Structure 1
Amino acid sequence: MYKKVASWLTPILAIAIIAVGYWGYTEQQEKQQLYNKAENQYQRAFHELSYYVNSVQDELGTAIAINSPGQYRQCLSNVWRLSYAAQARIGQLPLGIMEFSETENFIARVADFSYRTAVRDLDEEPLTDEEWETLHVLYDCATRIQGEISSVQTAVLAERLSWTEFEMMYAATDEPLDNNIINGFNNLEQEVGQFPEVSWGVGIDSINQIKQDKIKRMNDGERFDEQQIENKIVEFLELGPEKQFDIVRNPDAGDYVTYSVVVTNSDEDIIYLDVTEIEGHVLWLLQDRPVGRPTIDLSEAEQNAAEYLRKLDVENAIATNIDEYENIAVIDFASYIDDIVVYPDKITVKIALDNGEIIGFSAMEYYLNNNEREIAEPNLTIDEARDRLNSRLQIEEQRLAIIEDNTGVEVLTYEFIGTLNNSTYRVFVNVENGREEKVEKIDHLGIERVFRRF
């Protein structure tokens, strides 16, 4: 009997062993394929970063040698394009686990400086001596960056260094690592930190000042502790007694201190929030749950969102765009003061259409920008501004609006909504000089819902 059992059991065991072996083999193959894919993406991003930095250095070298407005425009446009490409490649590398902010900020400023210089009328407003000196300094700095990145590239190629292994090693230990990738980028970061002061011009300096003013506002007010944060969340979310809070203070989160909060309520739904330590402002919220079939319409969703904002002491908000996808309403709000839409004061609310619950919220821009404003009377009438538009644009709606221009300065404009060739556009015209500050192609249905008021 045992021989009979063994006679049919042995093949089955053999097949099972083969199957397990094959499964293990295919599992290993899939892991290796994912590893190779990640490594190839990192290698490509790094070598493209090296190429773009070299190209930026070449273009800056050309810029300090030419004297033609047209050539300046083309050259600085190239610097802007290549700098942004370099930024994008930095974002594709596993550098978030190490300090690299000095280099990233410098490249971003090079892009901003070159763009703002290139787009102005250089025939009427040629480069100043100070701007030429800035270009010369940028060229020297770009040369030093190029040298450091070339050193890393040489080491990567010569020693066959793996970005994926570097990422895993760095994430697996808190101890300092001796690795040519790490050492090279640390040297680059230190090099950039020692660059001389650069005169970026009024435009970029004003942007930095505006940013600092916003951050100062965010850090001005009453300081909330964990218990006050919890009490505020319980109140505006109307949570019952069966709830669990996990709160972590983030002292190094950026320009202002926040609390990261995870709330598990009685229904086992999980809600994630970020709240500022000063004044306890809810910057964003996300509730992770499936959304069922709709039981409310977009009008009710807007009412729920408006009521939600009032709980957060956000008054005088008006919907500026309404979208719907996968049974979720997404509504953008902005401040509405004296019949003027203030677009910088933006808040986005997501509402589940199955029960009207708020499942998403973002108010970072609102709290950064909202402040007391002195609004001057328009120099142009709305009809005068309308006459400056493309005559082929069929205007459907118009109103006053505040937007930010390219330098981050708030500008009072007339906002016109119009159609052309079956597309819908939003045009903002400066009330002082009639200049078109911004033209956007927008979703017709989303904006129609706002003006139609359902």
Structure 2
Amino acid sequence: MKKSTKVRLASFSAAFLLVLGGLLLDTRLLLNSSKTELEYTYRRALNDLSDYVSGMRSTLKKAAYVNTPVLRGTVSAKLLEQSGGAKAAMAVLPFSQEKTDRISRFLSQIGDYAMMLSRKSLTDAAASEEELQNLSSMERYAGILTDALAEIQARLSVERASVGKTESLLNNVDEIDSLPSFDDSLDEVAKEFSEFPSLLYDGPFSDHILRREALFLKGKAEITAGEAAQKAAAFLHCKPEELEALGTGGSAIEAYVFSRGDSRIQVTRLGGEIAYFKKSADVPEEKLSYEEALQAAAAMLREAGISSFQESYYVKNDNQCTINFSYLSEEGLGVVCYPDLIKVTVELGEGAMLEYDATGYLMNHHSRELVAPALDAETAKKNVSPLLTVKSSALALIPTPGLSEVLCWEFLCKDRDGGEVLVYINAESGLEEQLYLLQKDEHGVLTI
């Protein structure tokens, strides 16, 4: 064989091997990408399932304390929604058939039971002792399942394992085997409710939906970018020329946007109000208590021109403390207006402000005619569940799903387990409008 032929064959062979290697590499990368995508799908489904079951646990506890038909129907609808979401998430996971059937039956029975309670609420009948016991049992087992799912997630994290490669984690959790088998008759409950109406929820007061016109800015004059820079500089205690103009923006409210170093601030185009401020910072240690953070945040609100407010909930994380403030009416009634929300985040090192969000306040604050309630506190208290002990009462204005407002008596109550529950009774009709569980721990005070 000629030398040139050998060289040519060697070149062809090398080229072939390179092409083959490339194809194999592409195939391997494609397989790895598919596995990564599948793993992400599993992880997301596992997180969703855990969130839904944990939510069901809280809703089941609330359901035991609901005392009027309207709120009973709302809570039942929430249980039905959570049950369906949990089953959808579970269908994605590689559970064994045995485990799938067991958990699915448990979730379905909770949904069916919620429909039965909703139907019963139409007759204005109070929950029976047996029904209360069933709700308590369901809550307990929802807690068992929540803990089992948390165990799976923790082990996957610690062992840096893949859901797809460790299906045994999903099929060898003893707690799942102890899920109850309720009476078969529950499967037939409320079959006629094949299409339950879709309901809208505001959720916790701090996160109600912001869809309407900014009431506080209505009718106010438009300012220029230069005037907005003056407002921003005054808030930041700097000179306007130290700011960089970033144009306009804002999600709910149109605003001029400026930056200064690692800070960003928004000033509303109408009225020139500070809508939002955010500063990025790492806080190495926590020196201040919540009380000291509250004092610092309150001082910042007064400096911003907001003098009448009341703190409600707060959360501490990463050596930072975020506090929710609501407007406190200065009229004689002294009503807490929860829709008029301002959030202030203070760093717990030196007490400097890291975030200021007045969107809720600007969207909802306006001049209100707050009249004396038709029901006094003692009369309204009669509609609080007898399973709760009322500790205190106050008047509060709360948002509704329709983005209106309703005056309520806010009752801070104690439940049988020593936990705290907030119940809102309509100050005009006496209807039970809303109910929240207070969650208190080292991270703060929140509502669920």
TM-score calculated relative to the size of structure 2 = 0.52
Whether 2:284 is the aligned partner of 1:313: answer: no
Q: How far does the alpha carbon of each residue in 1:158-190 deviate from its partner, in whole angstroms, 9 at most, with x for none?
A: xxxxxxxxxxxxxxxxxxxxxxxxxxxxxxxxx
Say which of 324, 327, 330 aligns to 2:319.
327
Structure 1 portions without partners, runs of 5+: 1-21, 46-72, 90-117, 125-202, 205-209, 265-269
Say which of 288, 294, 297 aligns to 1:302.
294
Tell me, in whole angstroms, the C-alpha distance in 2 between the residues paired with 1:29 and 1:302. 55
Q: How does 1:332-351 map to 2 (within 5 A)?
A: 332-337=324-329, 338=331, 339-351=334-346
CA RMSD of the aligned region, Å? Answer: 4.7
Are the counterparts in 2 of residues 218 and 256 from structure 1 also a CA contact under 8 Å?
A: no
Tell me, in whole angstroms, the C-alpha distance in 1 between the residues paired with 2:215 and 2:390. 40
Label 1:313 to 1:31 Cα distance change in 2 as closer, same or farther (>3 A): farther
Tell me, in whole angstroms, the C-alpha distance in 2 between the residues paired with 1:399 and 1:405. 18
Q: Write out the 4+ residue segments of structure 1 that deviate beyond 4 Å after TM superposition.
A: 25-42, 118-124, 210-213, 253-256, 445-450
Task: Give 3-state SS (helix, strand or coil) of 1:221's partner.
Answer: coil
Residue 248 of structure 1 corresponds to 247
Whether 2:253 is the aligned partner of 1:261: answer: no
- Amino acid of the structure 1 residue aligned with 2:230: N
Whether 2:263 is the aligned partner of 1:271: answer: yes
Q: How does 1:150-161 map to 2 (within 5 A)?
A: none
Task: Give 3-state SS (helix, strand or coil) of 1:417's partner.
Answer: strand
Between structures 1 and 2, the one with greater helix share: 1
Say which of 251, 272, 275 aligns to 1:283.
275
Report the alpha carbon displacement of residue 405 of structure 1 after superposing the two structures with TM.
2.3
Label 1:240 to 1:430 Cα distance change in 2 as closer, same or farther (>3 A): same
Task: Give 3-state SS (helix, strand or coil) of 1:444's partner.
Answer: strand
- Amino acid of the structure 2 residue aligned with 1:300: E
Label 1:360 to 1:448 Cα distance change in 2 as closer, same or farther (>3 A): closer
Residue 425 of structure 2 corresponds to 429
Residue 392 of structure 1 corresponds to 387
Identity of aligned residues (%): 20
Tell me, in whole angstroms, the C-alpha distance in 1 between the residues paired with 2:443 and 2:428. 26
Are the counterparts in 2 of residues 320 and 447 from structure 1 also a CA contact under 8 Å?
A: no
Q: How does 1:27-38 map to 2 (within 5 A)?
A: 33=32, 37=36
The structure whose RCO (Cα within 8 Å, separation 6+) is larger is: 2
TM-score calculated relative to the size of structure 1 = 0.52
- Amino acid of the structure 1 residue aligned with 2:437: K
- Amino acid of the structure 1 residue aligned with 2:283: V
Q: Please, which moves more after superposition, 364-373 or 231-240?
A: 231-240
Report the alpha carbon displacement of residue 287 of structure 1 after superposing the two structures with TM.
0.9
Report the alpha carbon displacement of residue 387 of structure 1 after superposing the two structures with TM.
2.1
Q: How far does the alpha carbon of each residue in 1:96-122 deviate from its partner, in whole angstroms, 9 at most, with x for none?
A: xxxxxxxxxxxxxxxxxxxxxx99987
Residue 236 of structure 2 corresponds to 237
Label 1:32 to 1:279 Cα distance change in 2 as closer, same or farther (>3 A): farther
Tell me, in whole angstroms, the C-alpha distance in 1 between the residues paired with 2:389 and 2:25. 61
- Amino acid of the structure 1 residue aligned with 2:392: E
Tell me, in whole angstroms, the C-alpha distance in 1 between the residues paired with 2:27 and 2:289. 50
Report the alpha carbon displacement of residue 299 of structure 1 after superposing the two structures with TM.
2.0
Label 1:36 to 1:227 Cα distance change in 2 as closer, same or farther (>3 A): farther
Are the counterparts in 2 of residues 322 and 446 from structure 1 also a CA contact under 8 Å?
A: no
Report the alpha carbon displacement of residue 396 of structure 1 after superposing the two structures with TM.
2.3
Label 1:449 to 1:407 Cα distance change in 2 as closer, same or farther (>3 A): closer
Tell me, in whole angstroms, the C-alpha distance in 2 between the residues paired with 1:310 and 1:280. 17
Q: How far does the alpha carbon of each residue in 1:320-347 deviate from its partner, in whole angstroms, 9 at most, with x for none?
A: 1233222212111001113211100011
Label 1:345 to 1:34 Cα distance change in 2 as closer, same or farther (>3 A): farther
Residue 185 of structure 2 corresponds to none
Task: Give 3-state SS (helix, strand or coil) of 2:307's partner.
Answer: coil
Residue 228 of structure 1 corresponds to 227
Residue 214 of structure 1 corresponds to 213
Residue 170 of structure 1 corresponds to none
